[in-house]
Amino acid sequence: MSDSENSWSSSVINDQLRKRLETHDSAKVTNLNSQPCIAANMPSNKNLTFDGDAGDNFGGMNNGTKIVLNGDAGRFVGNGMNSGEIIINGNCDDGVGHCLSGGTIVVQGTVEGNTGPSMKGGNLIVSGNVRGNLATCMSGGSLIICGNVLGDIGKMRTGGQVFIAGEIDENQNIETKDISPADWKIVQKTLKDYGVNPEGLNFRSIITNFKTETTLSSEENNTSINDTLILVDAKLSRRPRTVPLDDLEMSISIGNKKEQPLNLTIPLLWTGDNAPSYSIWGINRQSPDNLDLANMAIIDLNATEINRRLDMQRPTDLAFVVELIRQSTAKRIPIMIKLKAGDVENDLSIIEKSGAEGVILTSGEMPIEAVVTASRPYKGKLIVLASSDTLDAKITAKLIALGASGLFLESECTNKKLKSFGVELSKIVGSLGIGKINDLGTDHLRTTNQDTAAMTGVAIAGYDSVLPMWRH
């Protein structure tokens, strides 16, 4: 691959690399031209060399590959890396080592931005300076900085080791002490192993003692207005349908049919050993290592004590993370975004632009019925799953009628319960006089509650249409 073109896309380069590594232990790419997500989740125990400059997310989700870049790299080198080596013979932009949990990253030049955010393990070595914050939200691993640090050190740090040889801002709320002989021996060996001369470097160990006092609860309020909504059975105006006399289409498909969608026979995704295989990458958590086996990936943005991913500094950075997962698997699996409902209309606009196939919405303090109502303009554009702790066919039918595509069950479910749920949901859909689950809409609902009518746009029982002030 030494003749690769600088005009090649990330997908072409990564696909060609995976194809070559099926029969070879190494590969080389020249004329790299700042493409993003290069060498994402490559086959383990292989050697890759790149000449040129890399874009964002270089070597992301590495699981045991040795990767060498002879040039500069963009943002978030080694994002979500679990094992292996990444050596940058140049400089890096912001976020190198984000969510690093194992392996080693070496930057032979300077990092222009934050370094080691949300590190959980592994080693990160910078032979030059760090012009940004260091060790933000770090919980494990080792940071070795040979140069100066020109930013804050250890914000919300709870663990790990930090060794700095250069100058730092002494006014920070941190403690420094001389490196111990045992640690100095390890640091010396580590630096020599990666071609960095430790002579003349006077390392200090950095101590920060951040302790979380409170953690935001992930518990849902389970607020619901389900009892104020009524499913309207078909009688004369619509013909009721009955299984097996009538065929009913209960399936949904998540993803692009031209790629590898996840097809569900009923509009339900659940947890457990018998569930469809999917990988979850949560906020500032270790990246999944089963992407190659998964049929879908979920980026979980539900709040933690940190409350945001540190590789998403701007709303448009969601596309940045989606693309990393997209390039981390040759199967081109569908990607869902899971988040607690807030500004649903604008949030779903960002998700649609990110390239993700759908969203899993949890209610929080907002009734789940109002949440899926707010998602209604995106029906046909995104798969919208409503999160629930309860498997109830009637509630599911109401949520789909309001705008959801299906249900995401937060708990495990036996095959017997799944079958029973599918049968019951089929009966309900048939009783409404429709043949496809996707045809469920607000016409099949009524309410006796004015607040519910205003919130959902569902007609009040006794009126033939929605009152003007309640139209959505």
Q: Output the six-digit token pair for 167.
A: 């100058």
Residues 203 and 233 in one domain: no
- pLDDT for 215 equals 45
Q: Of residues 307 and 411, which shows the higher confidence score?
A: 411
On the question of pLDDT at 25 being above 50, the answer is: yes
* Res. 218 pLDDT band, cuts 50 70 90: very low
- pLDDT for 268 equals 97
- pLDDT for 464 equals 64
The answer to whether the beta carbons of residues 130 and 150 sit under 8 Å apart is yes
pLDDT, mean of residues 344-354: 95
CATH number for 285: 3.20.20.70
* Res. 158 pLDDT band, cuts 50 70 90: very high
Whether 216 is covered by a domain: the verdict is: no
Pairing of strands 104-107, 83-88: parallel
- pLDDT for 378 equals 95
71's CB contacts (< 8 A; 6+ apart) are 32, 50, 51, 52, 53, 54, 89, 90
Cis ω for the linkage preceding 261 (within 30 of 0): no
**Residue that terminates a domain, selected from 157, 179, 207:** 207
On the question of pLDDT at 217 being above 60, the answer is: no
CATH number for 38: 2.160.20.60
**Residue that terminates a domain, selected from 180, 207, 234:** 207
* Res. 1 pLDDT band, cuts 50 70 90: low
82-87: long-range pairs with CB below 8 Å, 24+: 82/286, 82/287, 82/289, 83/44, 83/122, 84/44, 84/59, 86/58, 86/59, 86/62, 87/194
Residues 376 and 319 in one domain: yes
d(CA 471, CA 457): 5
Residues 52 and 91 in one domain: yes
Residues 161 and 239 in one domain: no
The answer to whether the beta carbons of residues 92 and 77 sit under 8 Å apart is yes
Whether 45 is covered by a domain: the verdict is: yes
388-426 confidence digits (pLDDT tens): 999 999 999 999 999 999 999 999 999 999 999 999 999
Residues 238 and 105 in one domain: no
Q: Output the six-digit token pair for 377.
A: 């303009």
Residue 399 CA neighbour count, 13 Å, CB half: 30
Residues 290 and 354 in one domain: yes
Residues 197 and 251 in one domain: no
Residues 232 and 291 in one domain: yes
φ, ψ for residue 376, nearest 5 deg: -55, -40
Whether 410 is covered by a domain: the verdict is: yes
Q: What is the mean pLDDT of the chain?
A: 91
* Res. 294 pLDDT band, cuts 50 70 90: very high
Whether 214 is covered by a domain: the verdict is: no
Residues 281 and 189 in one domain: no
Q: 20-24, 220-224, 445-449: which has the minimum mean pLDDT?
A: 220-224
Residues 271 and 189 in one domain: no
Burial 424-454 (b: 16+ CB within 10 A, else e): bbbbbbbbbbbeebbebebebbbbebeebbb
Whether 242 is covered by a domain: the verdict is: yes
- pLDDT for 243 equals 79
Q: How many domains does the chain have?
A: 2
Residues 53 and 134 in one domain: yes
Q: Which domain holds residue 72?
A: 10-207
pLDDT, mean of residues 210-238: 70
Q: Which residue has the tokens 């518990």?
A: 219
Residue 9: count other Cβ atoms within 10 Å of its Cβ. Answer: 11
Whether 414 is covered by a domain: the verdict is: yes
pLDDT, mean of residues 72-98: 97
Whether 218 is covered by a domain: the verdict is: no
171-198 confidence digits (pLDDT tens): 777 899 999 999 999 999 999 999 999 9
Whether 439 is covered by a domain: the verdict is: yes
On the question of pLDDT at 2 being above 60, the answer is: no
Residues 158 and 263 in one domain: no
Q: Of residues 290 and 212, which shows the higher confidence score?
A: 290
**Residue that terminates a domain, selected from 175, 207, 239:** 207
